[in-house]
Structure 1
């Protein structure tokens, strides 16, 4: 149990209800259960962390040229805390940021921000050595000139990457330097395994006596009383059951607005439907993640190549025909806090994808990467897409760092855009409970490390992740440890 909790001063134990078992709801449940707080989690699907296509630890925000430096520093701090909370979920390989000559951007534009992020990472490690989860601070990023890149292309591809240069050699063998602006930037933004995150939460919360998990259950009605809420839930057999809680956490992801509507709260937000694609490409060496910057929503939108073992790659392309969807960004209105996506996207979210759609959009994603990486045109469909909808509080679609907001003394809504913000949201909820007198704290900041997860075995987490990947119809490789 976390040492920050002194005791709950109320005469009866505090009971927190969480609606939604995605990365937000699961992380809130982990934090509260780790502190010995009685927690009830209600999830409509069969398991935890079964949502949008998470694959990248945004430890510095270098995928996004349009966000503020402050958001990047926030993402760095949140990412470090998230690695400590989910210690066996990280794929430890770097990311290469490349600017094609077709892009109007300046390849050096990220350098001032990178210096700030590296300086902040160094400060955080000096403050607490346990924060050194992204490699050595002085190696947070490295720039490669054209001459250095061409020299790497003349070296043999190593079987295993033991240095920063080794990670770049496979890319140097396949990329035409005439199509790139320099420098290329290698940065320690690691990969994040969605399935090992799900496995971490599942193993930690199953069997914890003060955390009750109710899967295949939906909240159908909420009743607010003077001292909390009654959640009326319905399970897959149509049976109704009331759940009485002192404090309600709305962590329903892109459906957060539906719960706001049930609770009688208005909230402005956006919802964006997105997908990533799974391809198989048999190639040599260990690959970094590769980001080709591009203008969002255009045919030359950003392309993202995320490697997994055994030649499996996850693909993003920021065009309307690949990761983005025409009409896939919807806003709430004055009558409802829930944005309405077009019905075909809702049907995909509820029922899955049809085979022709899988093949067509995955091939489009492969072709999008092959513009810059011609050999990748040999890749084949490697599985069904990872898909979901991302909520964005407010009206700014470029917002990336967000966490939680409150209504009165008994209601919180978690509105994360990136998974790394989930622990920050959980900690703010703990702080709110302390402000309201339900908890007494010892005055020290909450540690990112959780007793429920830090002693987990990496092999057990991987095996559970493989089970979840198979259960959900995805290749084992998306669950395997890498790097």
Structure 2
């Protein structure tokens, strides 16, 4: 009988794990799901000379999913997470830039605490100092870790008087110093809506489309990797020490036997857990970000974050700049980025949380235009509280949207990577894109401990920047997004 992973919850009985395949055989590992986690896991597995890798993706190309636009190199967007998570995100972000060197939009992020918020900007300083010290230590260990600029320049404070002076300064053609980045903001910000000082921190942007292009082009350089887009996994059955994968591609049903299985199904990870009889507690959250065109925008902007209490009408506002007056907006309210019933949990019957049908429909079939306009205008109005001139912005296209899984029961968890099942099975459980490499490395370490690998690791070939950008633009346009989302912004 054939099963559809989106609805199947039948449990399978696992045999005892057997010995690793003999040295004369090349183990085959299947990665199910070609998002940022699955693509990164497949790439790291490809670097191990002893393995054959199959990457199955239901969609037409790699790396779709929730809106990613921020590298989170220090976690400063989230006041509520622990210092330990921030330090983990710092290391993960640096490692991500080593593997994917063309994905960053190199510009700082400005953190502001609104006057209407109960927080205090000075309360951010102990964490910033701790992250800066950790970054300095990483650079001392390896100068190649200096991916975020000089450690002593990781953050800087700006008082009101300095921004008032910058309001009168000319816009530089290209920012070269921290104060240059503040000039566009100084000319637009309502100074009375924020507490002082403001913090400028070297948290960069992250291009979803250049990451997708980098993964695709890098995987293509490894002949032992088979990328199977447009492939739907129907069922999985234990077969001795491995797995039989029943799938459909091009309308034809086939079966493949593999030695190890990696579940990288993103927010649908629980569907495969259910089929394999692997109970797991998790949350799933549906989110969206919106595009706005603001032709009056002048200068090269930093990203700007106005903190706020999540889920309230004063939730965090996030302004992410791209080229040609295009901006991406988050507003952590239920009328903008968050959704009523958008956060759901698994239960004792299934490892897969069930989104409301109307949210699942947005993922599968897209959005009504009226809802796009309504929520985009709400995001513009939310930002205009701090930047009054932004009220003239107009909706800029379809949202970036999707659902993300969060392992466990803590919705504030941001630094997570992987967990392992009972029978040659691993599941990636990343919340942020920068955690994908950490998940991949944990799987590599586990395979090495089990004797699958002998340490024969191959480098990922260096990609030409123009090739990455050109392919990223093609992907953006194929998905009906503006090409500015794929092109580098910030420092050239």
TM-score tier by shorter-chain length is over 0.9
Q: Secondary structure at the match of 2:310?
A: coil
Please name the residue that 1:279 is paired with.
292
CA distance, structure 2, for counterparts of residue 476 and residue 89 of structure 1: 15
Tell me which residue corresponds to 2:322. 308
Does the 8 Å CA contact 1:16/1:248 hold for their aligned counterparts?
A: yes
Distance 1:52 1:153 in 2: 36
Aligned partner of 2:14 in structure 1 is: none
Matches within 5 A, 1:204-219: 204-206=218-220, 208-219=222-233
Q: For residue 485 of structure 2, what is the aligned residue in structure 1?
A: 478
Counterpart of 1:451 in structure 2 is 459
Task: Tell me what 1:193 maps to.
Answer: 207
Separation in structure 1 between the aligned mates of residue 173 and residue 23 of structure 2, nearest angstrom: 59
Q: Which runs of 4+ in 1 moved over 3 A?
A: none
Q: What is aligned with 1:466?
A: 473
Provide the rounded CA distance (Å) in 2 between the counterparts of 1:289 and 1:230. Answer: 47
Whole-Å separation in 1 of the counterparts to 2:24 and 2:381: 63
1:299 and 2:320 matched:
no
Distance in 2 between the 1:462 and 1:476 partners?
10
Of 256, 276, 289, the match for 1:263: 276
Q: Is the 8 A contact 2:69 2:208 kept in 1?
A: yes
- Tell me the residue number matched to 1:4: none
Q: Indicate whether 1:109 and 2:123 are aligned.
A: yes
**Contact 1:9–1:440 (CA under 8 A) maintained in structure 2:** no
Counterpart in the other structure of 1:3: none
1:316-465 counterparts in 2 under 5 A? 316-441=330-455, 451-453=459-461, 455-465=462-472
Whole-Å Cα distance in 2 between the matches of residues 231 and 398 of structure 1? 35
1:75 aligns with 2:89: yes
- Alpha-carbon contact 2:48-2:455 (below 8 Å) kept: no
What whole-Å deviation, never above 9, does each CA across 1:42-85 have from its counterpart, x for those lacking one?
11100100111100000000000000000000000000000111
Aligned counterparts of 1:327 and 1:386: Cα–Cα separation in 2: 19
Query: Over aligned residues, Cα RMSD in angstroms?
Result: 1.4
Confirm or deny: 8 A CA contact 1:9 1:437 kept in the other structure: no
Structure 1 gaps, min length 5: 1-6
For 1:90 and 1:477, the matched residues in 2 are separated by 14
Task: Give distance in 2, aligned partners of 1:121 and 1:35.
Answer: 29
1:203 paired with 2:217, answer yes
Residue 236 of structure 1 and its aligned partner are, at CA, apart by 4.6
* Local SS of the residue matching 1:305: strand
Deviation at 1:206, TM superposition (A): 2.5
Quick check: 2:111–2:198 contact (8 Å CA) kept in 1? yes
**2:22 is the counterpart of 1:15:** no
- Deviation, structure 1 residue 14: 1.2
Residues 403 and 415 in structure 1, CA contact (< 8 A), matched pair in contact too: yes
- CA separation in 2, counterparts of 1:33 and 1:279? 39
Deviations 1:213-235 (A, max 9, x none): 11111211111123111111122
Give, in whole Å, the separation in 1 of the partners of 2:310 and 2:221.
Answer: 44
What's the CA shift for 1:207? 5.4
In structure 2, distance between residues paired with 1:53 and 1:353: 15
How many residues align? The count is 469
Please give the alpha-carbon distance, in whole angstroms, between the structure 2 residues aligned to 1:176 and 1:328.
32
Long gaps (5+) in structure 2: 1-19
Could you tell me which of 56, 65, 74 is aligned with 1:60?
74
Higher mean alpha-carbon deviation, 272-281 vs 206-215, is at 206-215
Please list, as runs of the form range in 1=range in 2, the aligned pairs for 1:106-185 lying within 5 A after superposition.
Answer: 106-185=120-199
Match of 1:30 among 40, 43, 67: 43
Distance 2:76 2:256 in 1: 43
1:97-119 Cα deviation digits (max 9, x unpaired): 00110111111111000001000
Question: TM-score, structure 2 length as denominator?
Answer: 0.93
Aligned-pair distance for 1:382?
1.1
Contact persistence 2:210–2:472 (CA under 8 A): yes
